[in-house]
Amino acid sequence: MRERWESPRQAVVGVGLIGEGPLASAYASALAQLPDVRLGTTRSSGEGPARCASTTYEEAGALLDARSVASVVIFGGADAFALTSKALLSGKHVLLSGPGALSARQVRALKLLAESRSRLLVFGEQRLLSSPVGFLRKMLAQGNGLWTPRYVRSSNVRSARRHEALNVASLAVEDLALCLYLLDRQVLSVSAIGSRSASDAAAAFLNVTFAGGVVAALHVSLAEAWESCQLVVALAHKTLLLDEWDPRAPLKVISNGSGHAGGESYRIHGIRDRALTEGSPLYATDAARRPVRDQCRRFVEAVALEDLSMGNAEFWVRVVGVWEAAEASMAEGGAPIAVEPQASEKSEARRSAPPLRLVHSGGSRRESTLPRPSLTLVGG
């Protein structure tokens, strides 16, 4: 009797989830559907994640101490930095829902801590994994893209009454990440002004200048009744509209010709209104949940293989660095602030050997770009 051959199974990966809310429930559901994942949560995570878990821990410390938990998914909050630091020090791989609650210094510190412990650190980027965003990134790519952007304009407006946990900084970092990901160009400078309420920042207006003359204008607000999440890319002969809360047509490519101008191109028929009143529009449809599943699948596969190259902390260090410059600009009344190249770019420049100099009699000099240590030859 011939034995049936079976492909080797991936080892079971223990994943702990710390946090609560709609996003935590979406992640718990996605992780529970992955094969070879043993999901654990804390009692404070709420009913949604708890229903998907096979193990429940009394508190976060017990989950982080469990040897069967190789990785953790942490959702932003006031203690996100402390929890992530403790998880990395405990030898866990970490997926952090987003860096919006962290300062630029904290993001850099977590990146260095993960590298020193040889642990995987991934910041949640489900927004960047959607099909429309992936398509736009390919089409706008510098050098080999088909479309050359003139400018980008984004609007991320939420109601503070609906989203008590959100703040202007987290919205701005989220939108900056989207712009940097889509344009994939060096940021040269940023200017910003803010509007404050009685207790905190209510809105921020950012202008970002990229290499090649492309600019991006970002508007984030928690002070309006109408909610929207849109990004417009202006081309020479087309206008691109990315409306992530439109479940029917999140991406529209509209000709700038006279036959396509006007309100007909933007008719939404109230779908976004119903999504907002029925629940979270970001995870209301299967297409919206797919990026969360992709994020979880990539993270679990990287943990199983201990593939540290799947980490994205370097990108988020760039993003929060731009926001740090925007905050400096707001403190200076909107003055443009130059964005310094990242440390990796500076160190790469320092590693480049100086050119070889050949000095001939008579004082004439020729330059050579040979990658050798600096050397001066004097001819007789």
* Tens digit of each residue's pLDDT (9 = 90 or more) over 136-168: 999 999 877 789 999 999 999 988 676 666 789
Which residues sit opposite 337 in a β-bridge?
190
Sheet architecture: strand order including 215-221: 251-255, 238-243, 223-234, 151-159, 215-221, 201-210, 187-196, 337-338
Q: What is the pLDDT of residue 43?
A: 84
Closest residue by Cα to residue 285 from 12, 87, 17, 26: 26
Instruction: List, as one string, the DSSP characters of 261-293.
Output: -SGGGG--TTHHHHHHHHS-GGGSSHHHHHHHH
Does residue 170 have a pLDDT over 80? yes
Q: What is the arithmetic mean of pLDDT over 288-312?
A: 91
The H or E element that residue 15 is part of is strand 13-18
The H or E element that residue 302 is part of is helix 286-305
Q: Which one-letter amino acid corresponds to residue 108?
A: R
Sequence-distant (≥ 6) Cβ neighbours of residue 362 within 8 angstroms:
none
Q: Are 36 and 12 in contact (CB under 8 A)?
A: yes
* Percent of residues, the chain, with pLDDT higher than 90: 53
Helix, strand and coil percent figures for the chain, each rounded to 5:
40, 25, 35
Sequence-distant (≥ 6) Cβ neighbours of residue 275 within 8 angstroms:
245, 247, 281, 284
Q: What is the arithmetic mean of pLDDT over 320-335?
A: 95
Question: Given pLDDT bands bounded at 50, 70 and 90, which one contains residue 286?
Answer: low
Higher pLDDT, 373 or 342: 342
Domains and their CATH numbers in the chain: 13-124 (3.40.50.720), 128-283 (3.30.360.10), 344-380 (no CATH)
Q: What is the pLDDT of residue 288?
A: 64
Closest residue by Cα to residue 245 from 368, 157, 118, 315: 157
Say how far apart CA 320 and CA 326 lie, in whole Å: 10
Burial (CB count <10 Å: 0-12, 13-18, 19+), residue 254: middle
pTM of the model: 0.78
Centroid of chain to Cα 321:
13
Higher pLDDT, 234 or 360: 234
Q: Are 145 and 138 in contact (CB under 8 A)?
A: yes
**Which of 99-108, 247-256, 260-269, 305-314 comes out lowest in average pLDDT?**
260-269
Q: Which one-letter amino acid corresponds to residue 268?
A: I
Query: From residue 235, how far is each of 121, 142, 144 by CA, in Å?
Result: 36, 14, 16
* Tens digit of each residue's pLDDT (9 = 90 or more) over 22-63: 888 999 999 999 988 999 998 887 777 878 888 889 899 999
Say how far apart CA 182 and CA 139 lie, in whole Å: 9
Does residue 364 have a pLDDT over 90? no
The overall average pLDDT reported for the chain is: 80
Question: Given pLDDT bands bounded at 50, 70 and 90, which one contains residue 340?
Answer: confident
Cα dihedral 319, 324, 326, 332 in deg (nearest 10): -170
